[in-house]
């Protein structure tokens, strides 16, 4: 695999960063994951905008090549011959050559890394026909979940708890209300209304979420952006998640309780279809 590191396209085994890099020592880094369908980038503009916001919120320097990121993504797709898959991008505050809590001076340049992951069945994912099972866990992450940092230990623990329970993912709960999935936004459908948590510092502003809600409204579906409880989710007609790598994915059980009749619902199926069609049409 050919990866990108600070201006160079390199074989992955030659791409090396300092042990003092702040993403390694302090989780002082932000990231984006953009999916690729038919060799083209899905929702690139949204991911690029959110990256800029994450950098601003953390007062992190923009990589000098920020305006060339589309070209860099495309070049990696080309070099690795990716038809379907993902591109992972990470910016860290870089390495000041020692360990220090304070941010380094502005002469320390950020570290920029990109790599591809080929996933031949991203769109035609068999899981979309079966649906996924989730458990609920307490949300123990920090309070700025609107910033897409690489501090992913609790989400990793959540996925492991789900796995140990024979499930696929966990929905996190704070003050009795669902925040989001470990790496996705959470939705329920009640009657003809799609319900998903309102934006704020408690969740990530999903790029797929924004697109899906726009398509839902354009298709005259009702959308409510508000918080909901696990009990409300268990009583819902349908549930689903969205993210760049799963698009729209139905949820069929929560803590073992079937949602609706326990099979993927029509709203999630329709939104998945619309999202895939529309994003393929506008892919870069
Ligand atoms: N919430 C969290 C916590 C996530 O990690 C992700 C995926 N990175 C999302 C939501 C979904 O965001 P997006 O649709 O931009 O992938």
pLDDT of residue 104: 96
pLDDT of residue 215: 97
In this prediction, residue 248 has a pLDDT band, given cuts at 50, 70 and 90, of very high
Cα 67 to middle of ligand 1, angstroms? 23
Catalytic annotation, residues? 148
Read off the pLDDT of residues 199-208 as tens digits, 9 standing for 90 and up: 999 999 999 9
Task: Report residue 255 as tokens.
Answer: 């803590």
The CA distance from 72 to 65, in Å, is: 9
Does ligand 1 come within 6 angstroms of the Cβ of 168?
no
Overall average pLDDT of the 135-154 stretch:
98
- pLDDT mean across residues, the chain: 98
Asked if this assembly's ipTM is beyond 0.95, the reply is yes
Cα 107 to middle of ligand 1, angstroms? 31
Does ligand 1 come within 6 angstroms of the Cβ of 48?
no
pLDDT of residue 79: 98
In this prediction, residue 129 has a pLDDT band, given cuts at 50, 70 and 90, of very high
pLDDT of residue 97: 94
The CA distance from 148 to 106, in Å, is: 22
Fold annotation for 2-118: D-amino Acid Aminotransferase; Chain A, domain 1 (3.30.470)
Overall average pLDDT of the 77-86 stretch:
98
Nearest to 72 by CA among 5, 149, 1: 5
Does ligand 1 come within 6 angstroms of the Cβ of 196?
no
In this prediction, residue 172 has a pLDDT band, given cuts at 50, 70 and 90, of very high
pLDDT of residue 213: 98
- The residue extents of the domains of the chain are 2-118, 127-282
To the question of domain 127-282 being in CATH 3.20.10.10, the answer is yes
Q: Which residue of 87, 142, 204 sits with most ligand 1 atoms within 8 Å of its CB, as the best mutation to test the pocket?
A: 204
Cα 207 to middle of ligand 1, angstroms? 7
Does ligand 1 come within 6 angstroms of the Cβ of 264?
no
pTM above threshold 0.95? yes
Task: Report residue 4 as tokens.
Answer: 């990108």
In this prediction, residue 253 has a pLDDT band, given cuts at 50, 70 and 90, of very high
CA dist list (Å): 31 to 62, 89, 91: 12, 5, 6
Nearest to 87 by CA among 99, 100, 104, 69: 69
């Amino acid at each position: 695999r050919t990866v990108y590191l600070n201006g160079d396209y390199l074989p992955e085994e030659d791409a090396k960063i300092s042990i003092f890099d702040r993403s390694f020592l302090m989780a002082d880094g932000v990231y984006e994951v953009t999916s690729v369908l038919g060799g083209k980038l899905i929702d690139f503009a949204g991911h690029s905008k959110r990256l800029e916001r994450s950098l601003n919120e953390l007062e992190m320097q923009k990589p000098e090549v920020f305006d060339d990121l589309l070209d860099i993504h495309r070049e990696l797709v080309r070099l690795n011959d990716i038809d379907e898959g993902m591109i992972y991008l990470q910016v860290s505050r870089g390495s000041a050559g020692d360990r220090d809590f304070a941010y380094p001076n502005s002469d320390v340049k950020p570290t920029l890394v990109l790599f591809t992951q080929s996933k031949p069945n991203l769109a035609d994912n068999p899981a979309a026909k079966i649906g996924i099972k989730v458990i609920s866990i307490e949300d123990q992450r920090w309070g700025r979940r609107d910033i897409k940092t690489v501090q992913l230990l609790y989400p990793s623990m959540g996925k492991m708890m789900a796995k140990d329970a024979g499930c696929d993912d966990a929905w996190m709960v704070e003050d009795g209300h669902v925040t989001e999935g470990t790496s996705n936004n959470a939705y329920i459908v009640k009657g003809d209304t799609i319900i998903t948590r309102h934006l704020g510092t408690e969740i990530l502003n999903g790029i797929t979420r924004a697109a899906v809600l726009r398509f839902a409204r354009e298709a005259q579906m009702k959308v409510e952006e508000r918080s909901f409880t696990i009990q409300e989710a268990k009583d819902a007609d349908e549930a689903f998640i969205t993210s760049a790598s799963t698009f729209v994915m139905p949820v069929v059980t929560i803590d073992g309780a079937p949602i609706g009749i326990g099979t993927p619902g029509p709203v999630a199926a329709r939104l998945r279809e619309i999202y895939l069609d529309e994003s393929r049409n506008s892919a870069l």
